[in-house]
Structures are given as C-alpha cells and as structure tokens.
C-alpha cells in the first residue's frame, strides 16, 4: 500500500464531501447504474470507495441478497463512509486494490469510480479484478468528469497524486482487452470517462 497516497487521502477526507455537489453526484451515479443494468441480487465491489457516496447510492438498487464490497486505502475515508452508510449488506476493506481479501469469483461487478489513475500497479490490479469477478462479470472504469479535468485536478492537488495521470480511454480499453476482458463501451468526452468490459470466458 502506498503510504504517501494513504496519508494524502487521510488528510483530505474531512473536506471531500464539501467539495462535491452531493445531490448532483447522486443523480449522476444513479443514472449511470441504470445504464449499467445493475440487478437487485448482484455483489458489487466499490474500489476507492472514499466517503461512501457510490455505495450509498448503489444500495437502494440492491435487494436483500445484494451486496457491496467497499475498498479504500484511507483509514479516514473508510471511517467517514462507515458512519454515513450503516447497512449490513456492506463489507468494508482497508486494502490496496491489487490485493483484496476476497475469494475468487466472488463479484458480479467491479466499479472503479474516480480512482483508476491512483493505482500504482495497474496490470496487477486488473488481474486482481479478473480473479475476483465471476464468469461474465463486469468491470467499469468510470469518472464523472472529462479526462482533461481529472488530470488538471491531480496536477494541482499535491505531490502524492501529481503523477497520477488518466490515460486516453482507448488505452485503458486495450489494457483490459490484453488481460482477458471484452470491452463493450468506451466513452472519453467532455462529460465523463467510461470503459466497461466483461470478463472473457
């Protein structure tokens, strides 16, 4: 686990939700989930869950058998998320995305929202997601802003994330394809960045 990034995100955890338009974010997440076709009984992994906004928006779409596995490297972020989201259907992990303490073939879907550029070992992380996903499981690399906006934010945010660059979506798609995924959708425009792929059988 990258201690510099861990400390960086611990340091901004209390400010995070204040920087967000939470109602607007919730609406965008909800619409995205509907387009992804998330069903009530899925087990979904929220990678880089932060203060829990994605998990909180996802839970109402899941039924009694639905589950969320929420993962982050920041103790402070997870602490805030656990206070915000009190639901027995959520499992929380303080863990690096390249080594998540869950069994093989346990997830129907992995969502990486606003976290992809922060992975130090991208190839290792993709292979970890492949291990975790069931046959035909889905992986989504998602940002609710343009690639240029994301890279500008990171360049100015601090030394720990200054080099965390979001590459063109076609490059992310090619990487996933090379690691055993079939890419179904690629969006890289002024509003969002999305690469959706299915684990190859």
Residue 167: which CATH number? 3.40.50.150
β-sheet with 90-94: strand ranges across:
90-94, 67-72, 43-47, 107-113, 133-143, 193-199, 181-188
Q: What is the pLDDT of residue 75?
A: 98
**pLDDT digits 0-9 by tens, 20-79:** 999 999 999 999 999 999 999 999 999 999 999 999 999 999 999 999 999 999 999 999
Residue 197, phi-psi category: left (phi > 0), alpha (psi -120 to 50), beta (remainder): beta
**pLDDT digits 0-9 by tens, 152-192:** 999 999 899 999 999 999 999 999 999 999 999 999 999 99
Query: How many of the other CB atoms lie within 10 Å of CB of 89?
Result: 17
Query: How many of the other CB atoms lie within 10 Å of CB of 138?
Result: 22
Average pLDDT over residues 74-86: 98
Look at the chain and report how many structural domains it folds into. Answer: 1
Is the distance from CB of 161 to CB of 5 less than 8 angstroms?
A: yes
- 193-199 and 133-143 as β-strands: parallel, antiparallel, unpaired? antiparallel
State the residue range of the domain holding 81: 3-199
Structural Rg of the chain based on CA atoms: 16
DSSP 101: S
Among candidates 92, 11, 10, 15, which has minimal Cα distance to 49?
A: 92
């Amino acid at each position: 686990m990258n201690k510099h990034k861990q400390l960086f995100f611990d340091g901004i955890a209390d400010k995070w939700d204040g920087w967000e338009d939470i109602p607007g974010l919730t609406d965008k997440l909800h619409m995205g989930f509907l387009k992804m076709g998330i069903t009530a009984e899925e087990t979904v992994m929220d990678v880089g869950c932060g203060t829990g906004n994605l998990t909180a928006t996802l839970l109402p779409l899941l039924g009694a058998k639905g589950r969320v596995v929420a993962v982050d490297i920041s103790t402070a972020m997870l602490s805030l998320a656990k206070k915000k989201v009190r639901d027995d259907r959520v499992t929380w992990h303080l863990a690096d995305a390249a080594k998540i303490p869950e069994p093989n073939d346990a997830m129907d879907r992995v969502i990486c929202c606003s976290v992809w550029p922060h992975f130090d070992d991208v190839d290792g992380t993709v292979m970890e997601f492949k291990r975790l996903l069931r046959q035909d499981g889905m992986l989504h690399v998602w940002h609710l802003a343009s690639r240029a906006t994301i890279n500008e934010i990171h360049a100015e945010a601090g030394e720990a994330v200054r080099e965390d660059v979001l590459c063109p979506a076609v490059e992310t798609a090619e990487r996933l394809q090379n690691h055993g995924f079939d890419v179904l959708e690629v969006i890289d425009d002024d509003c969002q960045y999305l690469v959706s792929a299915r684990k190859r059988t």
